[in-house]
């Protein structure tokens, strides 16, 4: 996805990704087949171009019992 933004002239300069553990509400518990109140991973992501224009925005929720994440940072 980032390559496409770059090809369009909007290279992504910075990305902020926040991770929080939340409790599943009734809607999420139905959608992800978990019990209401079960722990969930909640990601909130924003990506910005060189000019600080927002070019990416996402909210994701994952089950807390069957996922794992790898974070790789490079400079």
Task: Indicate the domain borders of the chain.
Answer: 2-63
The CATH number of 2-63, from 3.40.1410.10, 3.30.413.10, 1.10.10.10, 3.40.50.1370, is 3.40.1410.10
- pTM score > 0.85 for this model? no
Question: For residue 5, with 0-12 CB atoms within 10 Å meaning exposed, 13-18 middle and 19 or more buried, which class applies?
Answer: middle
CB 38, CB 61: distance < 8 Å? no
Q: Give per-residue pLDDT as tens, 19-74.
A: 999 999 999 999 999 999 999 999 999 999 888 889 899 999 999 999 989 989 88
Write down the pLDDT at residue 2: 79
């Amino acid at each position: 996805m980032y390559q496409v933004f770059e090809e369009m002239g909007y290279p992504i300069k910075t990305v902020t990704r926040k991770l929080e553990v939340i409790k599943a509400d009734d809607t999420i518990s139905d959608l992800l087949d978990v019990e209401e109140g079960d722990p969930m991973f909640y990601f909130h992501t924003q990506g910005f171009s060189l000019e600080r224009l927002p070019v990416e925005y996402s909210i994701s929720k994952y089950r807390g019992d069957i996922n794992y994440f790898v974070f790789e940072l490079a400079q």
